[in-house]
Amino acid sequence: MAGVANQDTPHKDRTVAGTGPHTAGARSIRKPVLQEFRQRLVQEMTNRSVPLPLDAFLDRFLPLPPNQRPKRSTATLRNKLSALDDAGIGGWKEDAIADTFTTIVNDHKLAPGLRLALSQDRYDANDPSHQKIDGAFFPHAVAPTDGEPHWAEQIVPVEFKRGETKYDPFEDNVKKALDPDAQSRKNVRSQIIGYAETIFEQRPRTHLFMLFVIGRNFRVMRWDRSGVVVTPLTDYVLKPERLHQVLWRLGRASKAQLGLDPTATLVKPGSAHYKLMDKLGKKVATDLVAQRDTAVAKGAENNMFAYVREMFSKSLVKDWPRWKLSVPQSDGTMRYFLVGKPTFTTRTLVGRATQGYVAVDLLAKERQKQLVWLKDAWRTFYELVEAEGDVLEQLKREGVPFIPTVVCHGDLPGQATVTPDVWDDNRKAAEKLQECAAGNKQETAAHSPRVRPDHIDRTSTAAPPPSSTDAVIPAGPASGLKRPREEDNHDELPPPPRGVEGSDVDSVEDKCPLRRHIHYRIVVEEVALKLEQFEDGHHLVSVIYDCVKAHQRAAKLGILHRDISGGNILIYPKVVDDPKAKGKVVDDSESKDKVVAMRGLLTDWELSKDVKVVPGRRRRARQPERTGTWQSHLENTTSENIRNSRRIPEILDIRTVAVESRGISSPPNVIPGNT
């Protein structure tokens, strides 16, 4: 076997995301205590906020349509908004600000095609955390009137706060951090992060715009899976044309510009696809039972397992939208799948944000393969990071057993995070200004940008970005967002990952601390059971042993999984030849030569790494932060230990990872030793 390289990626503290995908009965959308949930989200978002002046923000993300301008008189609008003239002084309650603001916006149609609806007092039944956002813009024709948030239908959420600094989640003073530590401000920031996460969780999106109104000022935010871009506070009473410009552009923007995923199409009630989903969710008497050694009659081997249908049935939740999702195929075409509510969701705003579905494959020809497992994630997007589907296909070609079988997979066109690009542009603008200052200090001293301490890349000597209030940042490319509505092109190829030929920055020189992500979907044939559903001690050992063999075979090829956990070691029922029937002669009428086997399945290879030592290939970090389960980063993951197959169980650390971390209660002699 080839040698193995040590890992060189910087370490990041890992947050627990939940059980792994693929699992039947996996912990569904969690019901966290709201305060703890928000605290975790705000911690994950630390130092992921990027400032951008309002003009640059609008030009980059919401460009004006050709030959169109808002026509309302600034004087008229200022007169109307003067009703909120003293909203920032005190004495105003949030509800009063929200009511007055909403009336003005709706009565004067400041956001054409959209309507602002309030929802301060009620929560959505589909949100287990029971959050109540103040309001949101909806398409005018479907704007709700029941006072509920309707998270899945929101186009642009809106949050209102009274006063000025105390409840402002961000800081414009360039001598201070953009994310202030004052508890009242941190609480508000955790609120709006929670709202953004909930909207992403309930509808397929690429990004999200949010309007934040505090007293007589407002901010605009753009969230994606890398972070948030924030504009400075703007006084809408003093400068009403600024607010009008924002709302008018939001109203004129296309669905793709607003962040609605063009590869997800709503399945409408009563449609053929909706009825197909209902049909597949109903019990069928001939479905197979997932129990070891259960006999399977001739002709029934292609029947569906009952637990798979049950999982799909549970995803058809009342009032939860159903979607037809597109997944790229190797020939460049799209394959389509129908999904309901995710069986599994990682409740996070930034990062991979994995969701798992039991999905209907519209091209499946066999009954057993009609329902498959679809994983939707924002994978890290760097030169040396392989897509999970590529890894699985390589392992399958090499004959590695007990791993998922890929149906199709691929990156979704034009859906990469852009917050890191804004950070890069800020840094480059700051460096350019500093170069000018160095050449002529006296001439440029008055225009030199002040430095935000929270946006300095501590790992490099690069200059920090300028403040959004002090320097005009060039807009730069916007990943196709500058096209007018009629020219939206959803077949646009994603940008090249950092470090490949044609990219402007080599991966080694990529100074941005924000991780880059690209939207990715993968579909596999296997819908599996979680490890806790083992039948007895012998079965548990057998399942784990299967996964040890998968890991061992992959390690011999120089590929480490690096994310071993109980959530990724699954049980996969399959129909096999009855080993007890070999060599026996029986009447055809009595023959039952097929049985159910309950095998192991090692899933979720997205964090795997090719650690082969290749002559001439320089070792380097693949991305800004270390990834993988912390138990996988053991001293044993060295080239010498991986060459020695007897040490593989130590790398897996099965006793602590696969058993104790999943809370399995078993007799001590059930668990295999490290031999």
Q: What is the per-residue pLDDT across 431-471, written as a single tens digit (0 to 9) for each? A: 888 888 877 665 544 444 444 434 433 333 333 333 333 33
Q: Mean pLDDT check: name the lowest of 147-156, 231-240, 639-648.
A: 639-648
Domain shared by 226 and 299, yes or no: no
Is the per-residue pLDDT at 478 higher than 70? no
> Which of 145-159, 501-515, 581-595 reaches the highest mean pLDDT?
145-159
**Confidence (pLDDT) at 33:** 81
Domain shared by 404 and 425, yes or no: no
- Read off the pLDDT band of 594 (50, 70, 90): very high
d(CA 180, CA 583): 75
Q: Mean pLDDT check: name the lowest of 103-112, 325-334, 373-382, 500-509.
A: 500-509
**Mean pLDDT score, 324-352:** 96
Domain shared by 88 and 76, yes or no: yes
Domain membership of residue 609 (yes or no) is yes
Other C-beta atoms lying within 10 Å of the C-beta of residue 293: 12
- Read off the pLDDT band of 34 (50, 70, 90): confident
d(CA 332, CA 486): 24
Is the per-residue pLDDT at 327 higher than 90? yes
Domain shared by 325 and 440, yes or no: no
Domain ends where: 518, 543, 567?
518
**Confidence (pLDDT) at 256:** 97
Distance of CA 286 to the CA centre of its chain: 37
Percentage of residues of the chain with pLDDT beyond 70: 74
Domain shared by 459 and 533, yes or no: no
d(CA 549, CA 556): 11
Distance of CA 182 to the CA centre of its chain: 29
Q: Which of 264, 390, 364, 348 is nearest to 308 (CA)?
A: 364
**Mean pLDDT score, 133-150:** 95
Domain ends where: 225, 252, 279?
252
Strand partners, 23: 528
> Bigger pLDDT: 533 or 469?
533
Is the per-residue pLDDT at 143 higher than 60? yes
Is 344 within 8 Å of 21 (Cβ atoms)?
yes
Strand partners, 222: 209, 229
Helix (H, G, I), strand (E, B) or coil at 306: helix
> Bigger pLDDT: 659 or 373?
373
Q: Tell me the residue range of the domain where 462 lies.
A: 419-518
**Confidence (pLDDT) at 212:** 98
**Confidence (pLDDT) at 612:** 80
- Read off the pLDDT band of 268 (50, 70, 90): very high
Domain membership of residue 377 (yes or no) is yes
- Read off the pLDDT band of 382 (50, 70, 90): confident
- Read off the pLDDT band of 492 (50, 70, 90): low
- Read off the pLDDT band of 32 (50, 70, 90): low
Is the per-residue pLDDT at 218 higher than 80? yes
Domain membership of residue 442 (yes or no) is yes
**Confidence (pLDDT) at 617:** 59
Domain membership of residue 619 (yes or no) is yes
> Bigger pLDDT: 305 or 663?
305
pTM of the model: 0.81
Is the per-residue pLDDT at 110 higher than 70? yes
**Confidence (pLDDT) at 269:** 97
> Bigger pLDDT: 336 or 651?
336
Q: Mean pLDDT check: name the lowest of 69-78, 134-143, 630-639.
A: 630-639
Is the per-residue pLDDT at 641 higher than 70? no
pLDDT in tens, 221-249: 999 999 999 999 999 999 999 999 999 99
Q: Which of 619, 626, 351, 385 is nearest to 508 (CA)?
A: 619
> Bigger pLDDT: 674 or 48?
48
- Read off the pLDDT band of 365 (50, 70, 90): confident
Domain membership of residue 397 (yes or no) is yes
Domain ends where: 518, 539, 556?
518
Domain shared by 186 and 233, yes or no: yes
Domain membership of residue 21 (yes or no) is no
Domain membership of residue 161 (yes or no) is yes
Domain shared by 157 and 244, yes or no: yes
Domain shared by 479 and 569, yes or no: no
Domain shared by 269 and 235, yes or no: no
**Mean pLDDT score, 82-110:** 92
- Read off the pLDDT band of 497 (50, 70, 90): low
Percentage of residues of the chain with pLDDT beyond 90: 59
d(CA 138, CA 102): 13
**Confidence (pLDDT) at 214:** 96
The residue written with tokens 């040490």 in the block is 647
**Confidence (pLDDT) at 124:** 80
Is the per-residue pLDDT at 159 higher than 80? yes
Q: Which of 205, 263, 224, 607 is nearest to 412 (CA)?
A: 263
Domain shared by 451 and 488, yes or no: yes
Domain shared by 488 and 635, yes or no: no
Give start and end residues of each alpha helix (H) in 108-239: 183-202
Number of domains the chain contains: 3
Q: What integer best gives the mean pLDDT of the chain? A: 81
Distance of CA 359 to the CA centre of its chain: 18
**Confidence (pLDDT) at 125:** 76
Domain shared by 463 and 592, yes or no: no
